[in-house]
Amino acid sequence: MSLASHFSYWVTIFLMVAGLFIVIARGNLIKKLVGLAIFQTSVYLLYIAPGKLIGGTAPILAEEFKVYSSPLPHVLILTAIVVGVATLALGLALVVRIRETYGSIEEDEILAADLADGETEAGR
Amino acid sequence: MKNDLVLRVVAKLFIPFILLFALYVQFHGELGPGGGFQAGVIAAAGVVLHALIFGLDAARRIVPERLVETMLAAGVLIYAGVGVAGLLLGGNFLDYFVLSGDPVYGQLRGIFWVEAGVFVTVSGVMLKIFYMFAARGRDEDGEEA
Amino acid sequence: MSLAPHLPALQVVLPLLTAPAAVLLRSGGAAFLLVTAAAWGAFAISLGLWQQTAGGEVISYAIGNWPPPWGIELRVDRLSAFVLVLVAGMAAVVLPYCRQSIEREIPRDQHYLFYAMFALCLTGLLGITITGDAFNIFVFLEISSLATYVLIALGRDRRALVAAYQYLIVGTIGATFIVIGIGLLYLTTGTLNLADIGTRLPQVSGERPVLAALAFLTVGICLKLALFPLHQWLPNAYTFAPSAVTAFLAATATKVSVYVLLRFYFSVFGESLVFDRLPLPGIMLLLSLAAMFVASAVAAFQDDLKRLLAYSSVAQIGYITLGLSFDSQSGLTATIVHLFNHGLTKGALFMLAGCLVAVAGGSGLARLAGIGRAMPVTAFGIVLGGLSLIGVPGTVGFVSKWYLVLAALEKGQWWLVMAIVGSSLLAVVYVWRFVEIAWFREPPAGLPADRRLPLSLQAPAWLLVAATVYFGLDASFTVGSAAAAAEQLLGMTR
C-alpha cells in the first residue's frame, strides 16, 4: 500500500477535488465550466486506469496473446466523454446567451441584475 | 486567412486526406481502434479546417446548415432503425444475429450500420455546434463594429 | 410476430424515434402530433407492462439478445411499472397542453425543437426507470437532464438562462457523483447489471469502496431529487421554465430520481447495509423534517405563484423521503404512493398556474391579485390542488399522509405524527396566501378583457385535478400498486 502503487488514484482524487473547487470558488461562468470539465475528467481516469492490465493487449483473440485488458471501461468512458462534450457545449451556449442578455459572465453581477429584475416585477 | 497562400495550399492538400482518414477510421473500427464517433469527429474537423481557412460562408456552401441538421437526426434514425430491423426480423431490439442467415455475418452487418449512424450523427452534431458558435461570434462583432 | 414480449424496448424506443423525426419534420404542428401520439403510445405500453407485472412477475428483456449480466438488460418489476405509468401518463396529459402553452411563450420557429427535446426528456426518464444496468441509468439520466436544461432555458424571462445554467452545473455534479458511485461498484464487483451487483456485493471483501459508492450515489441522487438542503437549483428552474415544462418536470423528474434512490438502496446495496448498520435513516429523517418545515415556511413568503409551488415541491419531497427513512413496508408504501400522488397534484397545479400566466402575463402574485374573481374556475382548481397539498380528506394528499401517519404510528413515534400535522398547517398558510390574494384583493386594471382559455389548456389541467380527487376517494389503484411494489422491493433483500 505505497503511494506509488496507487498513483492513478491520487491523480484522480486531485483532479476531482480541484475541479469541484473551481466550480464552487470561481464566479466566472466560463471558469465554472472549466472546473466542471476537470471534475468529469477525473471520472474518466477512475474508470480507465483499473481497466489496464500491465502487459495485456487489446482484447482481440490471437494465438500468441494470453493476457488482455478489459475493453469495457473504454467503451463506458467513450459514452461519458460524449456526455461531457454535450454538457460543455450546452453550458457554453447558455453562457453565450447569458452574455448577450446580461452583458456579463460574472456570477455576482448577474445575480445583482436578477435581483433588480425581481424588484421591478414586485413593484409593478 | 483567405489571403494566406501557404495556408490555402496546405489546407487544400490536407482536407482530402483528413476525410480519407475519417473513412479509414470508420471502416477499420471493427478490426482496430476506431469507430463511428472518432471518424465523425475527424470528418467534421476537415470541414472545420475548411471553414477556418476559407471562411464560414464557404464551408456553409459545401455543407449547408440544413444538411447538417438533417444529418444529426438521420444518424439517430439509422441507429434506431437497425434496432427496429432486429425486432421486425424476429429478434430482440438491436439484435444483430438475425440480420443475416449467418449470425457472425449478421453481427458484422449490424455493427456496420450502427457505426454508420453514429458517424452521420456525430459529424452532424460537431458541425452544428461549430456553426452555431462561429456564426454567433461574427454577428456580435458586426454589431459592435 | 407479436409485440407483447417487446414492450420494454418499445417503451423507450417509441419516444426516442420521435425526437429525430421531429427534427426532420421541421414543423411545429407535425412534430406536436407525432410526439403526442408517441407519448400516448408509451402510456398504453406502460399500462400493459403494469398489467403484466401486477402479479409479481419480473420482466427481463435482453437488448441485442445478449443475456444479462453480459448484455444490457431492461427490467420491469412492480415499482418500475408504477413509475413508468406515472411518467408516460404525465407526458401524455401535458403534451396536448403544450401546443397552446408554448404558442404564447416560445418563438414559433423553435417549436419543432421544443417537441424533439420533450421527446428526449421523456425517453431519458422512461429509460432510467426501465433499465436494469447501472451505467445505462447514468446515460439516460444525462439524456433527460440535457434535454431538461434546454427546455428550462426556453423560458421567456432572461432569468431562465441563469436558472438553466445553475441547474446544469448542479445537475452535472450530481450525475458525476452518481457515475463515480457506479464506477466504484463496478470496480469492486466487476459487473454493471444492478441485480448482479446486488448478489455479488455481500461476497466483496473490504467494505470501504462499497461505503464510498453508497455515499457518492446518495449525495448524487439527492441532488437530483432536490432533497433539502440540496434543492437550491429547483425554485428558479421551476419558476422561469415554460409552464408546460414546469408541469411535466415537477410531476416526473424528481420522482424518477426517488425511484433511482429506492432501486439502489433496496435492489443493490440491500436494506441491511443501508438501514441497519449506517446512520442513514436518522440523517434522512432529519433532512426530510427540515424540508417539510423550512421549505413550507419559505413557500409562504414567496411573491410568485410558480416559485411558491416550487418551494412546496421541496417540502413535499420531504414527505416522500420521510416514508423511506422509516424502513418499513408501510413507510415505503407511503413513499411510493406519495411519489405518484404528488406528481398528479403538482402537475395539475402548475398547469393551472400556466393558465393564469397565459391571461395575466406573469406568475407574480401582485399580477394575480383578484384573479379568483376574474377567473373563478381556474383559481378554484388551484385551491383544490392546494387542498391536496395540505392533505384534506377526499384528495390524494390525504391518502399519502394517512399512510405516512400509519407508518409513524407503527414505529410508535407520536411526535412524528405531530410533525406531519404541523407541517400540513404550514401548507395551509401558503395555500391561504394564494386564496387571500386571488379573492380578497382588487383586480388590477391591466387584466385583459378576453379571459377565455382554449380548451386544450383547460382540459388536461382539469383531467389531473379530477384525478387528484378520484384517486383521493378510490385509492385502490395507487395504494394497491404501491403496497405491492413495496412488498416486492423488501422481498428482494430478505
Is B136 in CB contact (< 8 Å) with chain A? yes
* Residues C403-434 pLDDT 10s: 999 988 888 888 888 888 889 998 999 899 88
Q: Using the beta-carbon criterion (under 8 Å), do B92 and C20 form an inter-chain contact?
A: no
Query: What pLDDT score does B1 carry?
Result: 59
The residues near C177 (Cβ < 8 Å, ≥ 6 apart) are C216, C217, C219, C220, C223
Residue C258 has pLDDT above 90, yes or no: yes
Domain map (residue ranges) of chain C: 1-278, 280-494
Query: What pLDDT score does A2 carry?
Result: 66
Residue C464 has pLDDT above 70, yes or no: yes
* Mean pLDDT (whole number) for C91-115: 88
* Residues A79-103 pLDDT 10s: 899 899 899 999 999 999 898 888 8
Is B80 in CB contact (< 8 Å) with chain C? yes
> What range does the domain containing B109 cover?
5-144
Q: Using the beta-carbon criterion (under 8 Å), do C9 and B87 form an inter-chain contact?
A: yes
The residues near C491 (Cβ < 8 Å, ≥ 6 apart) are none
**Which chain A residues are within 8 Å of B133, Cβ to Cβ?**
92-93, 96
The residues near C471 (Cβ < 8 Å, ≥ 6 apart) are C340, C341, C344, C396, C399, C477, C478
Nearest residue of chain A to residue C302 (CA atoms): A122
Cis, peptide link before residue C229, omega less than 30° from 0: yes
Interface test with B, best of C7, C23, C110 (most B CBs within 10 A): C23
**Nearest 5 degrees, angle CA C142-CA C97-CA C18?**
45
* Residues C440-457 pLDDT 10s: 887 766 666 667 778 888
Q: Please count the structural domains in chain B.
A: 1
- Chains touching chain A through at least 3 C-beta pairs below 8 angstroms are B, C
- ipTM of the complex as predicted: 0.92
Interface test with C, best of B93, B99, B129 (most C CBs within 10 A): B93
* Mean pLDDT (whole number) for C202-218: 87
* Residues B37-65 pLDDT 10s: 889 999 999 999 999 888 888 888 888 98
The helix-helix angle for C28-53 and C7-25 (nearest 10°) equals: 180
Nearest to B129 among A58, A60, A89 (CB): A89
- A4-123: CATH topology: Helix Hairpins (1.10.287)
Residue B144 has pLDDT above 50, yes or no: no
CA dist list (Å): A98 to A109, B115, C93: 12, 36, 32
Domain map (residue ranges) of chain A: 4-123
Confidence of residue C494 (pLDDT cuts 50, 70, 90): very low
* Residues C47-82 pLDDT 10s: 999 988 888 888 888 888 888 888 889 999 889 999
Weakest mean pLDDT among A64-73, B104-113, C36-45, C393-402 = A64-73
- The burial of C267, by beta-carbon neighbours within 10 Å (0-12 exposed, 13-18 middle, 19 or more buried), is given as buried
**Nearest 5 degrees, angle CA C381-CA C236-CA C386?**
20
Give the number of other CB atoms < 10 A from CB of residue C100: 19
Distance from CA of C362 to the nearest CA of A (A): 9
Cell numbers given for C64: 441485442
Cβ atoms of residues C121 and C154 within 8 Å: no
What pTM does this model have? 0.92
Residue C37 has pLDDT above 70, yes or no: yes
Give the number of other CB atoms < 10 A from CB of residue C266: 24
* Mean pLDDT (whole number) for B125-145: 70
Cβ atoms of residues C247 and C97 within 8 Å: yes
The residues near B114 (Cβ < 8 Å, ≥ 6 apart) are B36, B78, B79, B82, B94
- The burial of C172, by beta-carbon neighbours within 10 Å (0-12 exposed, 13-18 middle, 19 or more buried), is given as buried
The residues near C402 (Cβ < 8 Å, ≥ 6 apart) are none
DSSP class of residue B79 equals: H
Query: What pLDDT score does A50 carry?
Result: 81
> Rounded to whole angstroms, how far apart are CA atoms A32 and A42?
16
* Residues C295-308 pLDDT 10s: 999 998 888 889 99
